Homo-oligomer: A and B are copies of this chain.
Amino acid sequence: MSSLRRRIIEEGRSLGGGILKVDGIINHRVDAGVMRECGDLFATQFAHTKPDLVLTAEISGIAPALMTASNLGCNVVYARKKKPVTMPGEPYIAHAPSHTKGGVTPLIVSREFLKAGERVLIIDDFLASGQTIKGLIDLIDQAGAELVGIGALVEKSFEGGRALLAERGVPIYSVVQITRLAEDVIELAPEEGEA
């Protein structure tokens, strides 16, 4: 069993409204050992796709993306939500509607760091409705780069994101798949290899 799965079973909490509290593992306190193991899993799953870079979205995607890139020997680019003063010219911009926060989140990548023809692996913390990852794919398309795979730490498979992304025909892999969240209930899909 992956450490992430074990930790979610032990500590994850369903707060209702489809919100999973994993901020002791992933997105406030980050367990470096869990992240390293997930980076290894992603690298094993996606090495054959030969990515030139790993693309993610700030903030919580950075840790798993970095551990994956470290393993594969490539760079991470994280889409910014605001254009920093150091970013020149007109960047690529996409927009992702936010399910948990409401509103629309911009995803901004400098033209310097996403180039036509580059092979791009997307790694993010969550795959839920798929809207954030769809926004990242939009950036890849704008740049004329090539999407080669999609990985997430936690998939909420009941939100349909995988179906939305499947049309791109690239491998999709999530470390932990959650099939149902209700008040105080977290149901996980069996892990690959489990009975």
Contact = CB atoms under 8 A, between A and B. Distances in A.
A30 B113 CA distance: 10
Interface range for A: 35 or more
Q: Does more than half of chain A's interface fall in helix, strand or loop, or is it mixed? A: mixed
Contacts of A78: 28, 30, 59
Contacts of A84: 23, 27-28
A66 interface: yes
B23 A70 contact: no
Given A36-B70, A62-B62, A87 B30 contact: no
Given A30-B69, A35-B66, A58-B59, 15 more contacts: A15-B85, A15-B86, A23-B84, A23-B110, A27-B84, A27-B86, A28-B78, A28-B110, A29-B53, A58-B58, A59-B78, A63-B66, A63-B76, A66-B66, A85-B100
Interface string A36-74: 100000000000000001000011001100110110011
A138 interface: no
